[in-house]
Each structure stands twice: as C-alpha cells, then as structure tokens.
Amino acid sequence: MAKKDAPPRWDRKMQQRLARGEAAALGELYDRFASLVHGQAHRVLGDEHASDGITREVFAHLWEHPEAYDPEQGPLRSWVAALTHRLAVQRLRATEAAALAESDHDSSEDLERKVRHAYVAARADYIVQSMPAPLRAALERAYFQRRDYRQTATDLGVTEDEARRRLRLGLQLLSTAHDAGMPGAPPGYGGAV
Amino acid sequence: MTEADRFGAYDEHEGFGEQEDHGKDEEYGEHERYGGDGEYGEHGDSGNGKKGDPDPPHGIRDGGSPQGPDGPGDGDDHAPVPGRQPPRIPMPRASVEDSGRPLPALDDLRAAMPDPAPLVLEHHVLKSLLGAWALAACSAEETAAVEEHLGTCGSCADEARRLREAVGLLQRPDSLDLDPGLRTRVLAACLDRRPPRIPVPEWARPYDAESARLDALLQDFGDSEWHAPVRLRWFDGAQALSRRTTVAGVIAHLLAVDGIVALALGLDDPLGGTDADAPTPAGRTEAYWRASHFPPTRSVRGPWREQSHGIVRTVSFTGGAAKPAVSYGDFELPLHDAMIDRAFECWVHAEDIADAVNYPYEPPSPRHLHRMIDLAARLLPGALAERRRSGLAAPARTPRRLVPAGEPGRTLRLEIEGSGGGEWLIPLDSPAAVGSAEHEVAHVALDGAEFCRLAAGHVPPEEAAAGQVGDREAIRDVLLAAASLSRM
C-alpha cells in the first residue's frame, strides 16, 4: 500500500534486495506492480494468455537483471511500465506479423493500425499513472467512482472550481496520448531493457 | 472502489514533472497553459461564427442525453448514430463572449456560479465545465447548458470532442481479473531462471501466497465493502461462538494476531503500547479494536500488508537458524507451524470476507492446503488430550495400561479427499503415542474443504459431512477436537 514518502527509497532498496537474490523481494515487487504490468500488457495485446506471458517476462527480466534499472533515472514504476510496453508491442508485432504471413486478409496497414492503437492505449495508461496525484485523484473520483464534480470537490477538499479545473486538465493531459508520433520511444524514459 | 485503493499503489510515486517525456514545464501547478486558452489555440472568446449552426459537432452530441455523455465503460460508443437527431434543445441565449463585449470580472462569475437551473452560464464557466461534462460529472442543467453551447462554439466543441475521446482512453486496470495462480507461476518461473540466494522457506510460502491472495481481493474494495458486516465464527470446545465485525475489522484481527509472529521474530508489535487482557489471539484482537476510537477502516490494510511482507522477509533471513517458538498465550507453536497456522487463518478469513461481499474465493493451492491439513492433523492428538483433561471427551480407553510414549495405540484413520488431501493416523489415547494402522479403531473420510471448515469452526462437528466407519465415540471426539482447534 501506498506510503506517500516511500518512492525513491523503496525503489532503491527494492533494487538492492533483488540484486541480493532475495526471493521475498521478488514477491513484494510482484504484489506492487503485477496489476499494472498485466493491465498494460492486456491493453496492448487484448489476450489473457499473452498478457500472462508478458507479466512473466517483465518480472523475470527485473529479477535476472536488477542492475538494468537505474534509480537515478526515474521511478521504478515508470521503468516497469516502459519495459512492459516494449515487450508487449514486440509481442504484438511478432504475432501480427505471423498472422499476416498466414492470411491474405490482413494487410500490413492493419498491423500498423493495431500497433498504433495499442501504442495510444499504452501511452494513455502511462499518462494516467504519471500525472500529478491531484489530477489522477479527481479523474478517479469522477470516472471510476462516478462522483460528480461537486462530490469530487468535497471528497478532495477543494473548491468546485478547482475540481472542474482538475478534471479538465487531467483529460487534456490524457488526450495528448493521441498526439505522440509513432512508436519511437515508448512512454517513460528510454533504455528499459 | 475508491481512489485511495485504486490508485493507492500509484500515489507513492513521482510527480508528473519527473517524467522525461512530459518535461518539467508541465509540472502540476503550471496549469495555466492548459487552463488558459493558449494551449488549444482557441480564438479570443468572441465566438467563431458557429452560432446557430444546426449541425452539432461530430460525435459530441449524439451521446448527449440529458444525463450527459455515455457513462464510464462506454467510451468508444460515441459515434454518431445515423438518422438520429440530436435532442432539440432551445438555442442558448447569446453569452457575453459572443457579443464581443468585455468579460465580467472573475469574482462576479464565481458569485454567479452556484445559481440554480435554468442555467445561463458564461463562456468561461462553460469551458471550465468541459472536463466534468466529458466525464458525465456535472448536473443535468449544466450538461444541458454545455451541450447547447457546443452547438454554437467551435473552440469548445473541438475541445469537448478531444476530452470525450480522452475519456475513452481511461481504463481501470484489470486487477480483478488477475488470476491469483499467476503469482505462483510467475515467481516460480523467475526463481527457475535465477535461483534465489535467500529463498522464502518452504513453510512460509503458504502464508506468503495466502496474504497476497487476500491483498488482491481487498484491492478493489470500496467503502461499502470495507464496512460490510462479517461474523467471525469459531468453536470453543463446547459450543459455537461468533463475533460481529466488519471487513476492516477482520483485517485488524489478522494484523493483531499475525503480530504474535512478528513479536517472536523481533519485529514491531502492531498493538504498540496497547495492553491486551490476555496475549491470546482473541485478547489481542479485542485490545486492538478497543484501542482505536473509530471502527477499523481501509487504512488497516497498509499496516497489515506491511507486516505480512516483513514477516516473510524476516523468516527468509532467519530461515534455517534457531527458530523461536511462537506464543499464542495459552499454547505455543514452533515458528514453521505458526506460519502454516497464520496462512490457514488468512485463508479462512479471506473466505469470510469474500462471503460477506459476495466474491468468489478459491481454496489454497493443493500443496499449501495439504500443509494446513497436515498441521491440523498433527495438532489433533494434543487437542484430544486437552479435551479429556477438561472433561469434554471420553477418557482414554486404556483399561489395563497406559500407552507408553512412542508406542502404537488406538488409532483413527483420517482420510482427506480431494486435492491437497491424504491420510493421517491419529493416535487417540495420548499425544505421545504413535498412530498405527494395526490399531485402527475408526476411519473417517472428509473432503479437504469440509475438514478445513470444521477445523475453522465454521461447521458444527455433528454436521460435518464425514464418512464414518468404526468406533462412534472416537470419531465424535476427533471431530469435536478438530473443531476445537478453531479460535477467534
């Protein structure tokens, strides 16, 4: 569970514990990030089995190469998200390319469209995870909990004005998921893997 | 589902500004560039000739019933429906923006804001509502006012479309669907590829797995779930007892009782300075519940999970070394048995919780279930002796001689069916005696889950669905002894 002051220290300690070969640390890592990883992989691949596979790959990679993550470069969560995205898109390309080779129906444009779609979706997930907590909290209330903006304001202890502003701003940030050019660097800092 | 949990795991980390690709200039607090007009290239609030345009902006109004745009989950579903006209809404009165006259002071606008319907809102206010509108999070009157406005204001319509599309990108992480078995498989695959230098001891794995499963169940709980009533049930040897609490209260109970293991390991006691009447599971739980002025809330999840992680971590380090005995107040268990016991309790209470909120919950993996059943089977002779001492069970049938320690004595064969099951020979006359097939006087067969419910005190011993052959009294005593293993 969240400890608001935890992040960099938790990330660094986690890395040290993984490097030390502590199986209990791997369990904690999974408990913290599994739903993020699996959810993100599923968003790209739309397939339970494939997402399980990506989840396995992501954690195996971290477990085998804990030194690949550099705490100086950013939070572990972003790194994990970027790694997940990368592996998921790789998998998508591979499976789609294989399907393409076997069928006459799909075209390479279809493939690119799928990849592009997956990219936008993954980028959106990433934006939600990395936006400032107050914006995310407002979106969370309004969207997932179906609170109206007045209730959201009360929940968050802000003015209604501010609640509206956060909702609008949060969505504006999210809408930039559509803007990014094609693949290039996945969301998050590069260099995962 | 509430924010604290859904995004709880996210909250601990970085501010937006730390992300490379978004850059520091987009740090929260410098929102003016979003909140202002510049970012989306809007015109200077003088209207842009869309007023009176009969065509609503593409995709905006089609979903726009009086309730506003589609609710969550229908994000993709806002394509225009052919032939369906947008709702006829009276044209908005011209706003000051459209007139080109100067905007009123912000304070005046604020003062005007909480006005009841019918609403005539300023462009500025309407625009500020776009986010809430796209999320269907404003009042019906505001929704109507915004939608009227969108027909006449191109810039707002553009932004509205953009924000509506963004809503379609919001997605709840599918943690609910995460197969609990995936954790075991993923961890096993990892450890296979790189063997751990500090493994989690075999006997701590059921606890590790069960606490992770319960935590995953709690992940998506909202306030109503956390405060759902739960009745803890157990069997004190003579009768069934129960105690009312809530889901959060159950987690507090687990926190307080797991604390005896934490204490034995030299970790912090979750009770802190609170004095328990008795250092027993029940005593500690009541003390913990009493100590807080308010009933337990979701906030108990963090400390419970942190403690369970700490316990697993610590036993991994102390693993093979001198294992402390864990005191339950009126009895002790070796650390490795206590860890199985805590895993069992964690599962039993996870089921209590799942029942309370109508979620499905699976039994532990067969291997872990087997260890739990094995612990109960090993504790049975002691429990039988205890019941005899307190006059609750028939005296030992050793007319002529006591069974010397280590010798075979009268035995009950306990057969547990299903995955995780097996056979155990329970010596009936003394905990020190050895179970022996030659001295079998009775045979009981139970389904594994049924046996666990019995040992958890959730099934009255006389009602346990058990196949029985042989000495009726011995069977009854053993079933009662199994139930008496349960505690609060």
For residue B393, give the 3-state DSSP assignment: coil
Any residues with CB less than 8 A from the CB of B286 and at least 6 apart, and which? B276, B277
Question: Does residue A69 lie within any of the structural domains?
Answer: yes
Domain closes at, from B342, B362, B382:
B362
Task: Determine whether the interchain pair A52/B179 forms a contact, defined as Cβ–Cβ distance below 8 Å.
Answer: yes
Q: B374 and B232 share a domain?
A: no
For residue B408, give the 3-state DSSP assignment: strand
Residue A116: other Cβ atoms inside 10 A: 13
Closest by Cβ to B170, choosing from A59, A172, A174:
A174
Q: B215 and B305 share a domain?
A: yes
One-letter amino acid for residue B478 of the chain: V
Provide the CATH number for the domain around residue B470: 3.30.1050
Enumerate the residues of chain B whose CB falls inside 8 A of the CB of residue A177: 166, 169
| A79–chain B nearest CA distance, Å | 10
| B180–chain A nearest CA distance, Å | 11
Closest by Cβ to B35, choosing from A77, A169, A177:
A169
Distance CA A137, CA A130 (A): 12
Task: Determine whether the interchain pair A172/B163 forms a contact, defined as Cβ–Cβ distance below 8 Å.
Answer: yes
Q: B136 and B233 share a domain?
A: no
Q: B38 and B138 share a domain?
A: yes
Any residues with CB less than 8 A from the CB of A159 and at least 6 apart, and which? A153
Enumerate the residues of chain A whose CB falls inside 8 A of the CB of residue B318: none
Least confident of A166-170, B94-98, B413-417, B483-487: B94-98
B306 at the A interface (CB within 8 A)?
yes
Quick check: B176 pLDDT over 80? no
Question: Does residue B256 lie within any of the structural domains?
Answer: yes
Provide Rg for chain B, Cα atoms. Answer: 32
Task: Determine whether the interchain pair A2/B8 forms a contact, defined as Cβ–Cβ distance below 8 Å.
Answer: yes
Of B351, B344, B365, B345, which Cα lies nearest the Cα of B185?
A: B365
The answer to whether B284 and B272 have CB atoms below 8 angstroms apart is no
Q: Rounded to the nearest 10 degrees, what angle do helices A108-130 and B154-169 cross at?
A: 90
Q: B88 and B183 share a domain?
A: no
- Per the structure, how many domains does chain B have? 3
Of B146, B306, B71, B247, which Cα lies nearest the Cα of A164?
A: B146
Q: B358 and B371 share a domain?
A: no
Question: Does residue B10 lie within any of the structural domains?
Answer: no
Kindly state the average pLDDT of the residues B94-109.
Answer: 51
The answer to whether A29 and A69 have CB atoms below 8 angstroms apart is no
Residue pLDDT, tens place only, B334-351: 999 999 999 999 999 999
pLDDT band at B110; cut points 50, 70, 90: low
Please give the sequence-ordered ranges of beta strands (E in DSSP) within chain A, or none if there are none: none
Residues in B 268-287 with any Cβ partner in A closer than 8 A: none
Enumerate the residues of chain B whose CB falls inside 8 A of the CB of residue A39: 171, 173-175
Domain closes at, from B317, B335, B362:
B362
Closest by Cβ to A142, choosing from B11, B130, B132:
B132
Please name the residue of chain A whose CA is at the shortest distance from the CA of residue B183: A30
Identify the pLDDT of residue A129. 74
The answer to whether B99 and B123 have CB atoms below 8 angstroms apart is no
- The domain of A69 spans 10-106
> Measuring CA to CA, how many Å separate B184 from each of A33, B179, B351?
15, 10, 20
Question: Does residue B62 lie within any of the structural domains?
Answer: yes
Quick check: B442 pLDDT over 80? yes
Residue pLDDT, tens place only, B351-386: 999 999 999 999 999 999 999 999 999 999 999 998
Enumerate the residues of chain B whose CB falls inside 8 A of the CB of residue A42: 174
Enumerate the residues of chain B whose CB falls inside 8 A of the CB of residue A137: 3, 7
- Per the structure, how many domains does chain A have? 1
Question: Does residue B101 lie within any of the structural domains?
Answer: yes
- The domain of B200 spans 179-362
B31 at the A interface (CB within 8 A)?
yes
Least confident of B168-177, B183-192, B336-345: B168-177
Kindly state the average pLDDT of the residues B130-150.
Answer: 93
Question: Does residue A50 lie within any of the structural domains?
Answer: yes
State the burial class of residue B347 (Cβ atoms within 10 Å of its Cβ: 0-12, 13-18, 19+).
buried
Provide the CATH number for the domain around residue B224: 1.20.120.450
Q: B351 and B436 share a domain?
A: no
Q: B138 and B282 share a domain?
A: no
Task: Determine whether the interchain pair A188/B186 forms a contact, defined as Cβ–Cβ distance below 8 Å.
Answer: no
CA angle A118, A120, A122 (to 5 degrees): 65
Domain closes at, from B343, B362, B381:
B362
Enumerate the residues of chain A whose CB falls inside 8 A of the CB of residue B182: 34, 38, 52, 55
For residue B390, give the 3-state DSSP assignment: coil
* Percent of chain A whose pLDDT exceeds 70: 87
Q: B318 and B417 share a domain?
A: no
Question: Does residue B474 lie within any of the structural domains?
Answer: yes
**End-to-end Cα distance, chain A:** 27
Provide the CATH number for the domain around residue A47: 1.10.1740.10
Question: Does residue B174 lie within any of the structural domains?
Answer: no
Task: Determine whether the interchain pair B3/A141 forms a contact, defined as Cβ–Cβ distance below 8 Å.
Answer: yes
Q: B235 and B146 share a domain?
A: no
Question: Does residue B1 lie within any of the structural domains?
Answer: no
Identify the pLDDT of residue A19. 97
Distance CA B202, CA B191 (A): 13
Q: What ipTM does the predicted assembly reach?
A: 0.78
